[in-house]
Chain A
């Protein structure tokens, strides 16, 4: 220890911006009220703070503040949107369309819908990580009530063609929901402009606190309703009961305000650092491959496979001071690597060899320079240890070997 810590795992969570923490503090001490207490100054202060935050968040995504439903985070928002639409629109149909590369919160909510009698189509993606629009349109039936496609992928940063998907949904009169957790606050996200009717996102991926998220629910043309999944005091227009997390919401609002002001500059700076990292590693290290589209991608993310090196082992060479994540799932009982990378058509071996670098507002050029050096050393060290790298270097056809275990 004693080494400088470098955090390149911002897609897992972002550090809270100090300006956000400062904004939250008064709502623990001076203003501890419940936003639903309508009859005293404590309640009024809390309600006012929530109103301000709701406006800040609505402004970030260019919607009306009455269209923001506060939740505990994106997982809850995804569940509320998918199960809530399924229950609300049962008379219209029972079919949902999503993609294989969605977050588990969407996939598992869809799995629950299937258990509840619904049917779900899981679209494939191409090598770039993008869904095929013709396949999407062909999958829509008269029973389809919802299309759920994420804005940007958590593992690869790949951004779907939201406008084109929205147009298809509009043409067929189907609701369009998006898990925009990785996109909001990092790139311009305007759900109404692309025809998104429900959108899940969260505070802790945009430098706000953990434990608070939101679901955007379109109010007009069409007026969308979801069946509540949490019953109680009828908060959030009856769609999500439960006392509002006032300090969290205040922080979320502040984070949205900062994001709106600084997002463009952050994105420009981070894309340069990301490109520097990616170009250095892929040029220094042979047999390294960038996963997913580089054209349609978040500015702060790169996912790279270093062939014949196992990702988790590789991370152990530098994880005393550098935090990244890997598509290798060596710790899971199934030993299966990232389903997202496998859906892109990567072999399991390349998926096991992947690292995801996600930069953030507090990443410096010094961080990137040190990461380039340590990762390159780690890959070279692990390749010196790797029997399949040795075979590859000797020209052995690794695919032709009959491995002992599958």
Chain B
């Protein structure tokens, strides 16, 4: 299978790999997937309490190249966005940007779920009404 240049670049030079303090009030953590399925994604955001903008996004992913590239791309897109803007990120945009083949679309779905999971965690910590049941199951 031939992968796109963008995908290979995100795989070889992943952006924003790392860990934020999950106990911080300003940090939201999304952990999705399962080791048995071959994909686990952890995506974290740090939100500025005054501007409500995402100032940092970090990820770690256990998975194939497409899963790693999808999460790397997601963290790039998250930085500088408000929480509401971040909620609008759609998995198909990731599919398009990385030219994911059909068998790898689930990687982009996982990345969208991880974004929504991180936002939900942040909102719960900060007493904001959460977006219900956004984390789809498949």
A310, A330, A386: the one contacting B60 at CB < 8 Å is A386
Is the CB of B137 closer than 8 A to any CB of chain A?
A: yes
- Quote the shortest CB–CB distance from A192 to chain B (angstroms): 44
- Do B36 and A385 touch across chains, with their CB atoms under 8 A apart? no
Q: What is the predominant secondary structure among interface residues of chain B facing chain A? A: mixed
Selecting from B27-35, B75-83, B86-94, the interface stretch reads: B27-35
CB distance from B125 to the nearest CB of A (A): 18
**Using a Cβ–Cβ cut-off of 8 Å, how many residues does chain A contribute to the interface with B?**
31
Given contacts A385-B17, A404-B113, contact A328 B38 (CB under 8 A): yes
**Contact: B37 with A313, CB < 8 Å?**
no
CA distance A331 to B66 in the complex (A): 10
Q: CB of A167 within 8 A of chain B?
A: no
Measured between beta carbons, the chain A residues less than 8 angstroms from B111 are none
A204 at the interface (CB under 8 A from B): no
Central interface residue in B14, B63, B104, B135, by most chain A CB within 10 Å = B63
Q: From B12, which residue of chain A is reached at the shortest CB distance?
A: A317
Are A390 and B19 in contact, with the CB atoms below 8 A? Answer: yes
Find out whether the CB atom of B38 lies under 8 angstroms from the CB atom of A335.
yes
Q: A387-B41, A405-B137 are in contact. Are A316 and B36 (CB under 8 A)?
A: no
B108: Cβ under 8 A from any A Cβ: no
CB-nearest residue of chain B relative to A390?
A: B60
Within the complex, what minimum Cβ distance (angstroms) separates A2 from chain B? Answer: 16
Q: For the complex, what is the distance from the CA of A316 to the CA of B40, rounded to whole Å?
A: 17
A392 to chain B, nearest CB (A): 10
Given A352-B35, A388-B35: A403 and B64 interface contact (C-beta under 8 Å): no
Q: Which of B32, B37, B39, B104 has the most CB of A within 10 A?
A: B37
**Which residue from A333, A384, A390, A406 sits with its C-beta under 8 Å from B37?**
A406
Residues on A with C-beta less than 8 A from B65 are 312-313, 316
List chain B residues, Cβ under 8 A from A404: 31-34, 113, 117, 135, 137
Of A308, A310, A335, A398, chain B has the most CB atoms within 10 Å of the CB of A310
Given that A349-B35, A389-B62, A404-B34 are contacting pairs, would A313 and B68 also be in contact in the complex, using a CB cutoff of 8 Å? yes
Instruction: Give Cα A337 to B117, complex, Å.
Output: 26
Complex contacts, A389 vs chain B, CB 8 Å? 62
B67 interface hit (Cβ, 8 Å)? yes
Cβ-defined contact, B32 with A387, below 8 A: no
Find chain B residues with CB under 8 A from A337 CB. Answer: 38
Kindly supply a per-residue 1/0 record for chain A positions 310-337, scoring 1 wherever the CB is within 8 Å of any chain B CB and 0 otherwise: 1011001000000000001111110101
Residues of A close to B63: CB separation below 8 A: 310, 313, 330
B3 to chain A, nearest CB (A): 8
Of the residues B1, B33, B68, contact of A403 by C-beta under 8 Å: B33
Shortest C-beta distance, A346 to chain B (Å), equals 11
Q: How far, in angstroms, from A403 to B31 measured CA to CA in the complex?
A: 8
- B11 on interface, CB distance cutoff 8 Å: yes
Q: Which residues of B contact A (CB under 8 A)?
A: 1, 11, 14, 17, 19, 31-42, 60-65, 67-68, 103-104, 106, 113, 117, 135, 137-138
